[in-house]
A and B are shown apart, each in its own frame.
Chain A
Amino acid sequence: MSRRKTGALRAAAGALGLALVGAALTGCSSGGAETVHFTFNKREAITFMEQTVADYNASQSDYRVVMDTSGVDPISASFVRGNPPDIMLANYNHEVSRFVQRCVLEDLSETEPASRIRDDFQPLLDQFGTCPGRTTALPYSVMAASVIYNKTIFEENDLEVPTTWSELIEVGDTLKANDIVPFYGTFADAWTVNQGWFDYSVGGAIDVQSFYDKMAEQGTEVGPNSEVSFQKDFLEPIEKMQLLASEYTQPNAGSRAYDVGNVAFANGEAAMYMQGPWALSQIELTNPDLEIGTFPLPMTEDPADLKVRVNMDLVTMIPEEASNKEGAFDFLDYLFQPDIIQAYNESQLGFVPTEDGTAPDDPRVEGMIPYYDAGAFYQGPGILNPRAIPTENYAQALALGTNAENLLRTMDADWARIAFRQPAISSEEGN
């Protein structure tokens, strides 16, 4: 009897102990070091970041950083519950920018890292919306993307990297004449069309920044008679994109998906590939010896118009309701130490957004460095369009040959409709 009782007691004590450990994990740890909840979910870089966190925890004894890799949706939920993480390092897009727009983040403008960030990124961040008077997101890693090309095929056919639209068509014609597929299309995956074909074509042809500023000003007025509109400004680049997609891709592009495309390109089945730097590591898996280069897609007859597509791959944010702000700011300073931010970006082929950062030393991204350094970049319309517009699907339809005029008119109508039902947000986007 008594033995059974002790057993039950022991079980109860065990349960209590577990609960205490759980409490310690969520609250302050018993060793005196305060826990800092850090959110990070870029899958390719988790191992690297785990090491960084471990180094930080070993370097001091005041704070202990715990990394959570569960992604954006749980973060949104934690904001709703009033229990957000202490510091976030996340891909910047319309989802994450909601936290900025709704002013639920700390002002970081007075921090030391903020003073070192290059000025030309703030307008890019602001395109997603702002919180007046605050700088709440600091860029940590910038990804540049442009056309990936097979250097060996270019050399074998005596081809130079094209810098104008007509040179590009010449390159395509030469390749076709030699029975080589110029571009490998993976139109079965809508997002691949969006981030590559659609973004490079439009970004290479127009001033994306001022276009979207004007679109936001026009709001519900967007239509056939407005100053700027999709149907007016996008038509020419989109028709060029459709020409490339229909005449200069392999015949089954419509039913090929991203994974298939990576393997095919790695095996030399096409000379060019419109994918971001994330595809490079995938191509490397199939064919580590492939010689790869990158160049911005020329859409005009003036080489001065060449630009690369960038995205704010990681930005740092600290929620207003963070429970351990001191720890968060301390870890922020640590992350932005020149050697750490440099090492991180080096490992991911990303670009350092600080004044003193140097570009990654890799021949595969070499072709983009001059444009990045000169500030010749744009953010893709594919990610700037409000998410309520199914831009990926539209881009896919365009690549498959849908009538561009009709579809761009639909996009204008979509834009005006969003401005009609969410006036607050679209005017914030104009700031």
Chain B
Amino acid sequence: MSATRSIVTGGGGAKTPRSRKKVEPIYYLFLFPAVILFTLAITVPGIIGIFFSFTDSIGIGEWEFIGFTNYIAAFSDPAILTSFLFTFGFALVTVILVNVIAFLLAVGLTAKIRFKMGLRAIFVIPMVVSGIIIAYVFAFLFQNSLPAAGSALGIPFLETSIIANPDLAWVGIVIVTAWQSIPGTLLIYIAGILSIPGDVYEAASIDGANKRQQLLRITLPLVAGYVVINVILGFKNYLNAYDIIIGLTNGGPGTSTRSIAMTIIRGFQTGDYAYQMATATLFFIITIIIAVLQLSVTRGRSNI
């Protein structure tokens, strides 16, 4: 809010000179390549895609307009509806889990502890490994190592692989996704916590606040902006979940872990172009609604 206000006042103050002076053409030059590329690679194909969602095209050959038929079919298609349900549920659970763990880790890693730097480096390692590799490694762990350990130790719960269980496979995907994305979130939290000036804590401890009160009353409110960033970025990433699911369960067992991105891409691979274009359009509209909601909820909460 204050940022917006300052821009407005700044603009008001400089009004007279700016309206007379021409804007430096160099600014347009900076923007030009990006705008052209974005238009060619994202906007134009996007509009073409939305156009084709109203046809029966399979990607090649002739096609006809069929109006909203694809959309009507999509709304009664359990494969699409459950993939939406799965993806949003998964994104919600993962975003909460990742942020809680990353925040607590960040608090720990910014405290005065030994081997701080070494520990930070270790915690960041998962970030540099590609998602598909992580997924294949964890698939092996879930399918072979854990069941072997389970039967050796006599823990019946571990003896069957959780990613072979249609009701629990999503838990495996949440675990692996969280494992991979906690470091990125953690780094942002560490930066946030380090940016809090030390004298605030000093003042708090003089006033008699204990560590827990400092955490809840000072650290948490002062990193609120970073929480917003992490939640928005994380949620966006998890809605696009693809590579980890491919490597871990490939949408299975059955159809229990098919994400929206997977459903759409499968459609393209199987000559179901127009139909999955309709799904993609629906997904686009829903994410826009979410983005607008997120913006309106977070606006004013932070200066980011």
A residues sitting closer than 8 Å to B (CB atoms) are 76, 79-80, 94-95, 98-99, 101-102, 104, 187-188, 190, 252, 254-257, 387-388, 390, 393-394, 396-397, 400, 402, 407, 410, 413-414, 417-418, 420-422, 424-425
Nearest residue, chain B, Cβ from A387: B270
Q: Is B16 an interface residue (CB 8 A)?
A: no
Residues of B within 8 A of A80 (CB): 59-60
Query: Is the pair A76, B270 in contact by a Cβ cutoff of 8 Å?
Result: no
Closest CB in chain A relative to B26 CB, distance in Å: 33
Q: Knowing A98-B271, A397-B166, A420-B73 touch, does A79 contact B254 (C-beta < 8 A)?
A: no
Residues of A within 8 A of B269 (CB): 95, 387
Query: Is the pair B271, A254 in contact by a Cβ cutoff of 8 Å?
Result: no
Docked Cα-Cα span, A402 to B255, in Å, equals 11
Query: Is the pair A424, B73 in contact by a Cβ cutoff of 8 Å?
Result: no
Closest CB in chain A relative to B269 CB, distance in Å: 8
Docked Cα-Cα span, A417 to B279, in Å, equals 15
Instruction: Kindly state the interface size class of chain B when it binds its partner.
Output: 35 or more
Q: Knowing A98-B60, A421-B66, A422-B56 touch, does A394 contact B143 (C-beta < 8 A)?
A: no
How many pairs of A and B residues are in contact by the CB < 8 Å rule? 112
Docked Cα-Cα span, A98 to B60, in Å, equals 8
Main secondary structure, interface of B, reads loop
Q: Which of B2-10, B33-41, B116-124, B157-165 contacts A (4 or more CB under 8 A)?
A: B157-165
Q: Knowing A102-B62, A397-B255, A410-B78 touch, does A421 contact B275 (C-beta < 8 A)?
A: yes
Q: Knowing A98-B60, A104-B60, A400-B166 touch, does A252 contact B147 (C-beta < 8 A)?
A: yes
Count chain A CB atoms within 10 A of each CB in B58, B147, B267 and give the residue with the most: B58
Residues of A within 8 A of B250 (CB): 190
Q: Knowing A388-B272, A390-B255, A400-B254 touch, does A413 contact B78 (C-beta < 8 A)?
A: yes
Query: Is the pair B271, A417 in contact by a Cβ cutoff of 8 Å?
Result: no
Query: Is the pair A102, B61 in contact by a Cβ cutoff of 8 Å?
Result: yes
Residues of B within 8 A of A402 (CB): 166, 254
Q: Which of B126-173 contact A (CB under 8 A)?
A: 142-144, 147, 160-161, 163-166
Residues of B within 8 A of A190 (CB): 250-253
Q: Is B79 an interface residue (CB 8 A)?
A: yes
Contact among B56, B73, B258, B271 with A390 in the assembled complex (CB-CB below 8 Å)? B258
Residues of B within 8 A of A414 (CB): 77, 79
Q: Knowing A98-B58, A388-B275, A425-B58 touch, does A396 contact B270 (C-beta < 8 A)?
A: no
Q: Is B237 an interface residue (CB 8 A)?
A: no
Contact among A95, A393, A417 with B255 in the assembled complex (CB-CB below 8 Å)? A393
Query: Is the pair A254, B253 in contact by a Cβ cutoff of 8 Å?
Result: yes
Q: Is B70 an interface residue (CB 8 A)?
A: yes
Contact among B70, B254, B266 with A421 in the assembled complex (CB-CB below 8 Å)? B70
Residues of A within 8 A of B144 (CB): 255
Residues of B within 8 A of A390 (CB): 79, 251, 255, 258, 266
Q: Knowing A393-B255, A402-B254, A413-B78 touch, does A255 contact B61 (C-beta < 8 A)?
A: no
Closest CB in chain A relative to B279 CB, distance in Å: 11
Q: Mark B50-69, 1 if CB is under 8 A from A, else 0.
A: 00000010111110101001
Q: Is B19 an interface residue (CB 8 A)?
A: no
Q: Is B76 an interface residue (CB 8 A)?
A: yes
